[in-house]
Structure 1
Amino acid sequence: DRLVELSREKLRRLGLSAAQLTELEAREATTATFTVPSPASGVVLEKMAREGQYVEMGMPIYRITDLSRLWLMLNVHERDLPFVSLGQRVDVEVSGLRGHHFEGAVSFIDPVLDTMTRTARVRVEVPNVQGLLKPGLFGAATLFAELASDGTLATPSLPGEYACPMHPLQRAEAPGRCRICGMELKKRVPAKGKAAGKVLAVPREAVLSTGKRTLVYVEWWAEREPDGSIRHDHAGNAKKLAQPQYQGFEVHLAPLCSAFHRKEDGTLHKLGDYYPVIEGLPTGVRIVTHGQFLIDSQQELSGKPSLFRPQGGSTDGGHSGH
């Protein structure tokens, strides 16, 4: 009995199920072959043993990989890292599969930066249900960094107090195991996320910048009070100007962003580049997008506040008449 139990235990460690052990014990004649199941489902990528070859315990026989979900490794520059978050949607295009678009999600952000390239590796999980993607293919990814109403990054919510260390997007409310790799879920802090919202933004071409100071010009067609409010007549109508007046506002802007429109076929159409406005620009005004360099020069020559002269004043530097 002791020898039989040791044999059972050895077969269990090889991966045989209880049903297989029962079937082996019920056989009337002994056999030198039996089926050893794979511990994981997937595709055989490499066969390391041949029929008749002697193998020892612990020796790899097959290399099996689940290709239903692949990893796309991205190198993201440090200036773009503030716009990357876990769970973020990613649009993937592969050079060898033109016309096909794949959608994935950011599942890991390397906490260490490569000092040579100034980039960090970002892992994107991409479903491969149809099996079109192959390991080793080169691809390009577009990360959609939506903004919240305050101009900061809108982050997806990641509910669940437990997450897989290898697959952080696999989360649960109670302890358990990852449905992908089988690792034990570890306790994590749930990420509430931040919802996307409308944000005040100006076109890229409307911005004047010295590198330290940023200016946006506004076009006025109504008379203004000293406090900036619109001057009205006795009937309550705004007093119109014969010629437009221009005023520059020093603004604090978020990094440059792009606006996209998704068509019915899933392709994206770029609408333009915009700077989200953090502060400094009133809402509901008409901004100048063309000719602002000429306007700024006229402002400076007339002694009014301009890009390089915030306080205004004469441009002759005290040498008038020389």
Structure 2
Amino acid sequence: WIQLDAYESDLSWIRYGQTVEFEAEAYPGERFAGKIAFIDPVLDPASRTVKVRVNAANPGGKLKPEMFVRAVVRSKLSSGGKVLDENLMDKWISPMHPEIVKDRPGKCDICGMPLLRAEKLGYLASKNKNTETPLVIPATAPLLTGTRAVVYLAVSGKKGIFAARQVTLGPRAGDDYIVSGGLSEGEEVVVEGAFKIDSDLQIQGKPSMMNPEGGAPDSGHLRHEQHGPTKKETPEYNKQKPEPSKKQAAARDFSITIDRVAQAYFAIQDAFSRDHLANAQKAATDLLDELATADMKLLKGEPHLQWMKLEAGIKTSTQDLQSAKDIEGARASFEKLSGPVTTAIAEFGGGKTAVYRFHCPMAFDNKGAYWLQDHRQTRNPYFGASMLGCQDSVETLVAGEKEK
């Protein structure tokens, strides 16, 4: 038999008796197959994985103890969220030998144990309307906060207008998310660049992912303005608006400073991916030094007010990271730092280097968290070596002229 490690986020797809395909590093290109015979009921808290045992044939004794294998389970999900295997509908299965499947109750031919109905093992019970294909959207479409998921939809009849909508997501299926509620088939959603739309709405004080009710930017320059009831606005974004972008209003010298701040941020991210607190805190000092060189006099009007807010958030989070007593606390501060740094790069950066925005669904007790990198190879800063490759979405924030 083969023992596999399955990530916590994959458990919704895994069932006893499923067929598993796997390859061994010793035999590249050769595929083996088996069936899931046991799923450990206990999760490993360090790796966030569950042990899965697979019964597999071993032709010619090729498979040796301690060999490393990579496995794939291909699941089909019904619209009701149940794993669908038409070959097991209304069938009876041995609880110890998954290869024993019968049409009626009885005992296992091998061990003599009573057979169980397939639905008791998590499969769809029988053919009904729930066997329809579920509604899915690309994994790049939703913006995830850990507690909510928001997508931007094209407003019918209004070219260039997009509206935010909260949706309920099911499990991730490869490059897609299953949608449990909030969307209908045929609606058009933004699949690339939704974060840029949302970022602009946040700056304008309109309803957005992080601030559903909207509100004016919190800046010291606004303290003397008249206070009073605010008008609730529809969460829409018009890409044909004739106003110049903030990035156009930012001076070239200011953009160079932001790019240096970004490089210090990437150094922090890299240090956390290597589980190295001291290096992360040293890079945080470098980030504050670069931040201090930013000349706000180069910015006029709304970009100036915008930077005031971003600078405060970057400075506070970085200082908290510097003073953290352990790597867990420092990583929590890094997560807070990632938000304003993302907006600063998107709005004020020079755009010469590609920047990618990653999302880890398991960070901070499955609340999820984002981070940035200047290359596409996943290096998770929230888990480091224990789950270096953990991510469920990658979005291009800045296309850039070059990539590391």
Any residues of structure 2 matched to 1:61-72 within 5 Å, and which? 71-72=1-2
Deviation, structure 1 residue 253: 1.0
- Among 57, 81, 93, which residue is 1:127 paired with? 57
1:92 pairs with 2:27: no
Aligned residues: 214
**Deviations for 1:74-119, whole angstroms, at most 9, x for unmatched residues?**
1223332232101222121111111211222212222334455443
SS in 2 for 1:256: strand
**Identity percentage over the alignment?**
32
Q: Using a 3 Å threshold, how does the CA distance of structure 1 residues 287 and 274 change in structure 2: closer, same or farther?
A: same
**1:244 alignment partner in structure 2:** 160
CA-to-partner distance for each residue in 1:29-54, whole Å, 9 max, x for gaps? Answer: xxxxxxxxxxxxxxxxxxxxxxxxxx
> Which residue of 2 is the match for residue 215 of structure 1?
150
Tell me which residue corresponds to 1:308: 210
Pairing 1:49-60 to 2, within 5 Å after superposition: none
Query: Could you tell me which residue of structure 1 aligns to residue 134 of structure 2?
Result: 199
- Aligned CA RMSD, in angstroms, stands at 3.1
Q: 1:152 to 1:249 in 2, by over 3 A?
A: farther
Q: How does 1:163-312 map to 2 (within 5 A)?
A: 163=94, 166-172=96-102, 173=104, 175=106, 178=109, 182-191=110-119, 193-194=123-124, 197-222=132-157, 241=158, 243-258=159-174, 273-302=175-204, 304-312=206-214
Q: Who is 2:34 aligned against?
A: 104
Structure 2 segments unaligned to the other structure (5+ residues): 227-404
The structure with the greater share of residues assigned to helix is: 2
- My pick for the range that moved more, 89-98 or 308-317, is 308-317
Q: What is the distance in 1 between the residues matched to 2:68 and 2:181? A: 41
The answer on whether the counterparts of 1:162 and 1:175 sit within 8 Å (CA) in structure 2 is: no
2:16 is the alignment partner of 1:75: no
Q: Compared with structure 1, are the counterparts of its residues 183 and 158 closer, same or farther at alpha carbon in structure 2 (3 Å cutoff)? A: farther
The separation in 1 between residues aligned to 2:196 and 2:91, in whole angstroms, is 56
Structure 1: 5+ residue runs without aligned partners? 1-70, 223-240, 259-272
Amino acid aligned to 1:202: I
Give the letter for the 1:321 counterpart.
E
Q: Quick one: which of 145, 151, 157 aligns to 2:75?
A: 145
Equivalent position amino acid for 2:111 in 1:
M
Distance in 2 (CA, whole Å) between partners of 1:212 and 1:93 is 37
- Are residues 306 and 174 of structure 1, via their aligned partners in 2, closer, same or farther at CA, if it must alter by over 3 Å? closer
Residue 12 of structure 1 is matched in structure 2 by none
Residue 245 and residue 114 in structure 1: after superposition, are their counterparts in 2 closer, same or farther (change >3 A)?
closer
In structure 2, distance between residues paired with 1:213 and 1:140: 33
User: 1:265: which partner in 2?
Assistant: none
| Structure 2 Cα separation of the partners of residues 309 and 117 of structure 1 | 33
Cα offset, 1:141, TM superposition: 0.5
Query: Counterparts in 2 of 1:7-46, with a 5 A limit?
Result: none
CA shift in 2, pair 1:84/1:319, >3 Å: same
TM-score w.r.t. the length of structure 1 is 0.56
Select the structure of larger CA radius of gyration.
1
Per-residue CA deviation, residues 274-318 of structure 1 (Å, 9 max, x unaligned), is 111111123312211233233224434555422122123444687
- Matched position secondary structure for 2:155: strand
Taking structure 2 as the reference length, the TM-score comes to: 0.46
Tell me, in whole angstroms, the C-alpha distance in 1 between the residues paired with 2:172 and 2:106. 42
- C-alpha separation between the residues in 2 aligned to 1:114 and 1:256? 21
Higher strand share goes to which structure? 1
Q: CA deviation at 1:247?
A: 0.2
